[in-house]
Structure 1
Amino acid sequence: MDRPGFVASLVAGGVAGVSVDLILFPLDTIKTRLQSPQGFNKAGGFHGIYAGVPSAAIGSFPNAAAFFITYEYVKWLLHTDSSSYLMPGKHMLAASGGEVVACLIRVPSEVVKQRAQVSASSRTFQIFSNILYEEGIRGLYRGYKSTVLREIPFSLVQFPLWESLKALWSRRQGRAAESWQSAVCGALAGGFAAAVTTPLDVAKTRIMLAKAGSSSASGNVLSALHGVWRSQGLTGLFAGVVPRVAAISLGGFIFLGAYDKTRSFLLGVGAGRP
């Protein structure tokens, strides 16, 4: 990948990440509280729905930038003809690689953010300091495995579907999909992927919110899923599915639309277009 493409992917990814995280933060807070062990009302209800937003704001740009740099680089590395039947596999590998790298930044931010969301009276920096004091760096990466195990299946569904919908739309109209069309494709792909991966999101939330030293804090995804199934059944496994699908559908529209628009603009400027 050439330097303009690298810079465009970095900046466009960062802009897209910050945009979607800040705009949709209240929906994310509601989803987290619905999934929390103590229940929605005890976790804060509708009070303080912007609790934890500093953590999200700090982590958004580098997290999304890392994802898209890796995503575009792996796509470039695995270059195949656009008509090849291998294209979905290339997009799956690129998305998986992007998630593994991005989660190195996303997980510490997510741990602090989610604890702030269910404890709105505590300041973000105080929560961050307490985690470091009580659990060390490992505490910030609690749930890394469960987050990766959630994000990879999500991306394996979302990104090949997004790319396929864009390609289909492009073929139908005889020209490349515009940014708003890419955004619509992103909303459809994101909403579908969000629905089918909600149980993994519930498991990740339970692990991140568990008390230090408890069995849930060990990070065992299957154990977390089994515990939710045993206590709450199918309803528990799909807790928060409505705000999750709503947030990620809107997020897919904003995130992937903003990414395409910003990247196209930057590449156009780099090529000297007016």
Structure 2
Amino acid sequence: SCVFPIDLAKTRLQNQQNGSRLYTSMSDCLIKTIRSEGYFGMYRGSAVNLTLVTPEKAIKLAANDFFRQYLSKDGQKLTLVKEMLAGCGAGTCQVIVTTPMEMLKIQLQDAGRIDHSNTAKRLEIMVNNNLTQDAQRKLMPETVVPGTVPTKSPTAMQLTRELLKEKGIAGLYKGLGATLLRDVPFSIIYFPLFANLNDLGKRGAEGPAPFYVSFLAGCLAGSTAAVAVNPVDVIKTRIQSMNRGSTEETYSGVTDCISKIMKNEGPSAFLKGAYCRALVIAPLFGIAQVVYFFGVGEYILSFLPGN
């Protein structure tokens, strides 16, 4: 919840192409979003995120612990390769929840940008062609007030029903390959880095590291891994976006997306939204690791009968 507006800015920055640049930076994106869509416009898609990010993180953290224990012999410290294998397993398991969550969230987050892009294009056509009032009404059937979004965005439930009706369960898993290409390397980098940074904070003492060490280790490991896999996150975001501006490219898969981005926008496009993603992931994983290591879940469950 704390970092969701930054995640929205990341999605919109990654999705805009050279011919339809509406935002120049994260702050510019957030300011324009507030002006045109109101304060709550920054939280488009947050309901999906709040619903699914909890099981996603639970699967990721628990799976990593499971694989680390499985690969450990007699409680001995894992080698770096085994730590990376455990992270690989965690990243693979989480995409069951991550893919549909990201699929729905991206449509909702990017809806405002698409509306603005299409509105701007129609206004440009009207001005350039000196259209009559009748022609203007056909091109722009709704009254457009500068700085507003004329169309109402669909809800997550509407999108889910539409995808299930048209494409079945596979519709919710569009971009599964790209999600795997992002989340598996992310976990391979993140979990070993976090474990080693967290161990450094113990200062030779037995037991868990202080909570602030876990928080800082989660922040640093998360931001490092986020920036490292950002090019794949750009590809995943583009592939999972169902709606496009009238002048924007569409993509049939990972290879097609890479080639078109390289051809039309250059290598720098793969770094779009990198600092936003780092700002999102750092506190997200810092907070998640602290709560996880505090054993909040175990404490709550201890009050249930039979525990």
Provide the TM-score with structure 1 as the length reference: 0.79
Residue 51 (structure 1) aligns with: 44
Match of 2:89 among 73, 92, 97: 97
Paired with 2:100 and 2:300, the residues of 1 have a C-alpha distance of: 32
Paired with 1:81 and 1:231, the residues of 2 have a C-alpha distance of: 54
Structure 1 residue 130 corresponds to structure 2 residue 111: no
Q: Could you say what secondary structure the match of 1:226 adopts?
A: helix
Answer yes or no: is the 8 Å Cα contact 2:185–2:229 preserved in 1.
yes
Structure 1 residue 30 corresponds to structure 2 residue 9: yes
Structure 2 runs not aligned, ≥5 long: 24-28, 113-152
Paired with 2:195 and 2:107, the residues of 1 have a C-alpha distance of: 34
Structure 2 vs 1, CA of residues 95 and 249 (structure 1 numbering), >3 Å: closer, same or farther?
same
Aligned alpha-carbon RMSD (Å): 2.8
How far off its partner does 1:64 sit? 1.7
How far off its partner does 1:194 sit? 1.1
Match of 2:257 among 202, 224, 232: 224
Structure 1 residue 41 corresponds to structure 2 residue 22: yes
Name the count of aligned residue pairs: 246
Answer yes or no: is the 8 Å Cα contact 2:230–2:271 preserved in 1.
yes
Answer yes or no: is the 8 Å Cα contact 2:107–2:243 preserved in 1.
no
Structure 2 vs 1, CA of residues 226 and 256 (structure 1 numbering), >3 Å: closer, same or farther?
farther
Structure 1 residue 139 corresponds to structure 2 residue 132: no
Structure 1 residue 117 corresponds to structure 2 residue 109: yes
Name the % identity. 29
Match of 2:215 among 171, 183, 186: 183
Q: Could you say what secondary structure the match of 2:295 adopts?
A: helix
Paired with 2:171 and 2:79, the residues of 1 have a C-alpha distance of: 38
- Aligned partner of 1:188: which letter? L
Paired with 1:87 and 1:123, the residues of 2 have a C-alpha distance of: 46
- Aligned partner of 1:237: which letter? F
Q: Could you report, residue by residue, the CA deviation over 1:129-149 in whole angstroms, capped at 9, with x for unpaired residues?
A: 222223221110011111111
Structure 2 vs 1, CA of residues 125 and 269 (structure 1 numbering), >3 Å: closer, same or farther?
closer
Structure 1 residue 243 corresponds to structure 2 residue 276: yes
Q: Could you report, residue by residue, the CA deviation over 1:139-188 in whole angstroms, capped at 9, with x for unpaired residues?
A: 10011111111011111111100001111221456763112211101111
Q: Tell me which protein shows more helix as a share of its residues.
A: 1
Residue 88 (structure 1) aligns with: 80
Q: Could you say what secondary structure the match of 2:111 adopts?
A: coil
How far off its partner does 1:223 sit? 2.9
Larger Rg: 2
How far off its partner does 1:269 sit? 5.9
Paired with 2:46 and 2:288, the residues of 1 have a C-alpha distance of: 18
Paired with 1:106 and 1:255, the residues of 2 have a C-alpha distance of: 16
Structure 1 runs not aligned, ≥5 long: 1-21
Paired with 2:59 and 2:76, the residues of 1 have a C-alpha distance of: 28
Structure 2 vs 1, CA of residues 110 and 101 (structure 1 numbering), >3 Å: closer, same or farther?
same
Answer yes or no: is the 8 Å Cα contact 1:199–1:225 preserved in 2.
no
Q: Could you say what secondary structure the match of 2:43 adopts?
A: coil
Paired with 1:114 and 1:231, the residues of 2 have a C-alpha distance of: 22
Residue 290 (structure 2) aligns with: 257
Q: Could you report, residue by residue, the CA deviation over 1:67-111 in whole angstroms, capped at 9, with x for unpaired residues?
A: 222211111111146764x43222212221112111111111110
Paired with 2:284 and 2:273, the residues of 1 have a C-alpha distance of: 16
Residue 14 (structure 1) aligns with: none
Residue 162 (structure 1) aligns with: 194
Answer yes or no: is the 8 Å Cα contact 2:90–2:187 preserved in 1.
no
